Amino acid sequence: MSTVPTIIYTKTDEAPLLATYSFLPIVQAFTKHSGITVETRDISLAGRIIAQFPEFLAEDQRIGDHLSELGALTLTPEANIIKLPNISASVPQLKAAVAELQAKGYALPDFPESPQTDAEKDIKARYAKVMGSAVNPVLREGNSDRRAPKAVKDYAKAHPHSMGAWSGDSKTSVGTMGGNGDFFSNEKSVTVADATDVKITFTGADGSVKVLKDSTPLKAGEILDATFMSKAALVSFLGEQIAKAKSEGVLFSLHMKATMMKVSDPIIFGHAVEVFFKDLIAKHADTIKELGVDFRNGFGDLVAKIEKLPADKKAEIEADIQAAYANGPALSMVNSDKGITNLHVPSDVIVDASMPAMIRAGGKVWDAQGKTGDTLAVIPDSSYAGVYQAVIDFCKKNGPLDPKTMGSVPNVGLMAQAAEEYGSHNKTFEAPAKGTISVTDAAGNVLLSHEVEAGDIWRACQTKDAPIQDWVKLAVNRARATGDPAVFWLDKNRAHDAQLIAKVEAYLKNHDTSGLEIKILAPADACTYSLERIVEGKDTISVTGNVLRDYNTDLFPILEVGTSAKMLSIVPLMNGGGLFETGAGGSAPKHVEQFVQENYLRWDSLGEFFALAPSFEHIADTFKLPRAKVLADTLDTATGKFLEFDRSPGRKLGTIDNRGSHFYLALYWAQALVEQTGDLELQAIFAPVAEQLVANEAKIVEELIAVQGKPVDIGGYYQPDDAKASEALRPSATFKAILEMI
């Protein structure tokens, strides 16, 4: 065990990275006399790309594989990681990041779209390692406990965020395939009694055999599922939905998770683009082929590549694009000013955040004119789509939820060791032809098999037993700690869930559940049950699998407290370490755009504050370091005061932004350190600091606000220049000087 208490503060991307330039120096100053070391590790997209290609780069450009290092650390009891959100890159983002780094002098290889040689295949495989959700599954060696702290709920009740109106005649609804060839309907699941190693094989109708994955070790008691989405069913479903949106006069929107489901969902996304623009694509098939357009990267891939065409050809295609828009249903927009539609980039619209935002807005999305309208929200697979329909039905009947009075739905999520769908990407395949895909164990027994057609998307998912036991324990602990009902969102009619229910029922018996209300309900029913309670101001713990963990921890926070940035998000690692995620949301790309345009950062760091307190507590416990507990308690007090005085970033220029909010946190933290009497040495150290911060409040705030309103250069998007970014994010000389006193 390491002897120096160390917090690893992750260096990530976009808005959280910008916030780090301002906040980390504060954390380092406040921990300086505590015996705690605060170090960073670079898990940004740029850092992860660089780490893959050492031999292409100069010595001083190389970065070690910090992600693997942290992955190993999560297996140890002293692991203590503050994990900020990072980019889960789609192909367009990956290419943009590579281009930026190349322009900065990094001799990285281009991303090979269709690799031919072994060397190109190796390069593509290395890039594949950093694509999509490549970070979280490595670090999440524990299950998740996400909830809105009481102070945040109280704040939302006192300062309710806006909620769009919902009327009974809203035409918004969810479109999903249902029992028609989707993942839900085709799922098969087994629990293996003994450890084994399974092989995934495709056998063509012509008798040819291809091993898709040679080895997947399973532990005793592990659940293994397999399922597929029929391409034919999907394509015909998408055609129907597009026609339906048009006939109902609502905006068509598609909601996928192409980042986390990085193999299956870009394929589905690509089909949606191809169906929507069917005539255009048929008419220009040859040109599209020549240009090497890949619709899995979104319609934007075509829009970008036609730039290379001669002017007349380009104009012809552009006119046909306009005709396609005019012919189809109106498309929901990501950015109507720039003409970016829902189908442009697969990572622009991500279901966990996009559906709650739509629901919060009263069932509305943006149209091409910048107005809002009702939508047919298409979520092809029906495993979880019903949850959103349940919320929509509830709001249509009862009107919008009221943040002033509503209860809460915290979440206990099964995610350790890449549980369920989010661990499926290395076991997801597009069927090469008509045939059978089978999973056989080490003894040659067929565990699962499906008849597939060319293009069907087949996937297998694993869920280990130890994480399930840990998850059940965590659920019981939360129910005991709160007295609230705990509902397992599991559907006995779904193959995987049926296996899980058997385990849940067995493992609940290992715990004292007397007096606790524990239920198992199918997801949509569990959602309705929780909503019926939420309007009565009651809390209901949602105990879910990995995907619903992701969905629910944006859905309920966004409705309850306006954003998932304010969530406490703890991952008690199974070997005793702690992973403290900051909030439950992402890296807020649009905040960066605003920052570089007008030097204003709207990012709210409450998630970071909430993560840091239990991180200190973990150190206090693990290293028997009372001073760490003092830091935790005083930070808690400071965060409470921060909420009470409403010091989160404002929404408009001229108010304090992220940097000002950090100043106030520092001020309140210093004051709390002075007010405590348990550690007199710390009290003495922080007395002059608190005094200086109070005395200079007006000056510091003025210095922080003075820089707003003009563009600012941070020297890069994916890899900002540290010196420039640090200067931009720490514009108050007075505040800096006071921190240096510590």
Ligand X SMILES: O=C(O)CCC(=O)C(=O)O
Ligand Y SMILES: NC(=O)C1=CN([C@@H]2O[C@H](COP(=O)(O)OP(=O)(O)OC[C@H]3O[C@@H](n4cnc5c(N)ncnc54)[C@H](OP(=O)(O)O)[C@@H]3O)[C@@H](O)[C@H]2O)C=CC1
Please report, as ranges, the residues that interact with ligand Y according to CB under 6 A.
Answer: 85-88, 136, 259, 347, 350, 353, 357, 563, 565, 581, 583, 585-590, 602-604, 607
| Interatomic CA distance for residues 425 and 97, integer angstroms | 22
The answer to whether 249 and 218 have CB atoms below 8 angstroms apart is no
Other Cβ atoms within 10 Å of 236 Cβ, number:
15
Q: Candidates 259, 375, 382, 424: give the one binding ligand X (CB under 6 A).
A: 259
> In the complex, which residue's CB is closest to ligand Y?
586
| Interatomic CA distance for residues 485 and 201, integer angstroms | 44
Which lies closer to ligand X via its Cβ, residue 136 or residue 661? 136
**Residue 603 binds which entry of Mg ion, ligand Y, ligand X, none, CB below 5-8 Å type-dependent:** ligand Y
| Interatomic CA distance for residues 244 and 182, integer angstroms | 19
Structure tokens at 452: 């597939």
Side-chain half-sphere CA neighbours of 650 within 13 A:
9
Q: Is 283 helix (H, G, I), strand (E, B) or coil?
A: helix
Which lies closer to ligand X via its Cβ, residue 251 or residue 359? 359
User: Interaction with ligand X in 537-566: which residues (CB under 6 A)?
Assistant: 550, 553
C-alpha 237: how far from its chain's center?
A: 27
By CB under 6 A, is residue 420 in contact with ligand X? no
The answer to whether 197 and 217 have CB atoms below 8 angstroms apart is yes
| Interatomic CA distance for residues 259 and 21, integer angstroms | 26
Which lies closer to ligand X via its Cβ, residue 260 or residue 302? 260
- Minimum separation from the CB atom of position 167 to Mg ion (A): 29
By CB under 6 A, is residue 584 in contact with ligand X? yes
C-alpha 705: how far from its chain's center?
A: 31
> In the complex, which residue's CB is closest to ligand X?
88
| Residue that has been written with the tokens 């659920």 in this structure | 475
- Minimum separation from the CB atom of position 18 to ligand Y (A): 11
By CB under 6 A, is residue 74 in contact with ligand X? no
**Bridge-partner residues for 147, per DSSP?**
568
- Minimum separation from the CB atom of position 210 to ligand Y (A): 32
Which lies closer to ligand X via its Cβ, residue 183 or residue 551? 551
- Minimum separation from the CB atom of position 583 to ligand Y (A): 5
Other Cβ atoms within 10 Å of 672 Cβ, number:
22
Given the rule CB under 5 A, which of 84-92, 289-297, 312-320, 347-355 is the region that contacts Mg ion? 347-355
By CB under 5 A, is residue 581 in contact with Mg ion? no
Structure tokens at 285: 């098939």
- Minimum separation from the CB atom of position 152 to Mg ion (A): 18
Beta strands in 491-577 (DSSP E): 518-521, 541-544, 568-572
- Minimum separation from the CB atom of position 72 to Mg ion (A): 25
**Residue 379 binds which entry of Mg ion, ligand X, ligand Y, none, CB below 5-8 Å type-dependent:** none
Q: Candidates 352, 374, 381, 560: give the one binding ligand X (CB under 6 A).
A: 352
Q: Candidates 260, 359, 378, 725: give the one binding ligand X (CB under 6 A).
A: 260
- Minimum separation from the CB atom of position 262 to ligand Y (A): 10
- Minimum separation from the CB atom of position 706 to ligand X (A): 36
**Residue 590 binds which entry of ligand Y, Mg ion, ligand X, none, CB below 5-8 Å type-dependent:** ligand Y
User: Interaction with ligand X in 645-704: which residues (CB under 6 A)?
Assistant: none
Which lies closer to ligand X via its Cβ, residue 400 or residue 423? 423
Q: Which of 150, 152, 154 is nearest to 404 (CA)?
A: 154
Q: Candidates 352, 381, 539, 617: give the one binding Mg ion (CB under 5 A).
A: 352
Which lies closer to ligand Y via its Cβ, residue 123 or residue 361? 361
- Minimum separation from the CB atom of position 130 to ligand Y (A): 12
- Minimum separation from the CB atom of position 569 to ligand Y (A): 8
**Residue 588 binds which entry of ligand X, ligand Y, Mg ion, none, CB below 5-8 Å type-dependent:** ligand Y
Which lies closer to ligand X via its Cβ, residue 376 or residue 418? 418
In which element (H, E) is residue 191 found? strand 188-191
- Minimum separation from the CB atom of position 643 to ligand Y (A): 14
Which lies closer to ligand X via its Cβ, residue 42 or residue 550? 550
DSSP assignment letter at 584: S
Structure tokens at 568: 């406490």
Which lies closer to ligand Y via its Cβ, residue 265 or residue 633? 265
Which lies closer to ligand X via its Cβ, residue 200 or residue 260? 260
Q: Candidates 34, 80, 88, 696: give the one binding ligand X (CB under 6 A).
A: 88
Residue 167, CA distances (Å) to 264, 393, 394, 401, 657 in order: 35, 10, 11, 12, 35
**Residue 657 binds which entry of ligand Y, ligand X, Mg ion, none, CB below 5-8 Å type-dependent:** none
By CB under 6 A, is residue 133 in contact with ligand X? yes
Number of residues that bind ligand X (CB under 6 A): 9
Q: Which of 202, 224, 225, 197 is nearest to 212 (CA)?
A: 202
- Minimum separation from the CB atom of position 566 to ligand X (A): 14
- Minimum separation from the CB atom of position 564 to ligand X (A): 8
- Strand 209-218 vs strand 196-204: parallel, antiparallel, or unpaired? antiparallel
Given the rule CB under 5 A, which of 144-152, 251-259, 542-550, 677-685 is the region that contacts Mg ion? 542-550
| Cβ contacts of 543 within 8 Å, gap of 6 or more | 411, 412, 413, 471, 475, 486, 487, 488, 489
Which lies closer to ligand Y via its Cβ, residue 347 or residue 382? 347
Residue 222, CA distances (Å) to 383, 423, 702 in order: 21, 13, 59
- Reduce the secondary structure of 250-263 to three states and give it as a string: CEEEECECCCCCCC
**Residue 98 binds which entry of ligand Y, ligand X, Mg ion, none, CB below 5-8 Å type-dependent:** none
- Minimum separation from the CB atom of position 516 to ligand X (A): 27
Other Cβ atoms within 10 Å of 676 Cβ, number:
17
Widest Cα–Cα separation across the chain:
82
| Interatomic CA distance for residues 465 and 691, integer angstroms | 54
Q: Candidates 301, 470, 550, 679: give the one binding Mg ion (CB under 5 A).
A: 550
Planar angle of CA 241, 246, 251, nearest 5 degrees: 85
**Residue 395 binds which entry of Mg ion, ligand Y, ligand X, none, CB below 5-8 Å type-dependent:** none
Which lies closer to ligand X via its Cβ, residue 88 or residue 671? 88
| Cβ contacts of 182 within 8 Å, gap of 6 or more | 176, 229, 230, 233, 234, 380, 381, 382, 383
- Strand 173-175 vs strand 372-378: parallel, antiparallel, or unpaired? parallel
- Minimum separation from the CB atom of position 109 to ligand Y (A): 23
Long-range interactions of 108-115: CB distance < 8 A, separation 24+: 108/49, 108/50, 108/53, 108/56, 108/57, 109/53, 109/56, 113/292, 113/294, 114/292
Q: Candidates 136, 297, 382, 383: give the one binding ligand X (CB under 6 A).
A: 136
| Interatomic CA distance for residues 139 and 156, integer angstroms | 31
Binding residues (CB under 6 A) for ligand X: these are: 88, 133, 136, 259-260, 352, 550, 553, 584
Binding residues (CB under 5 A) for Mg ion: these are: 352, 550
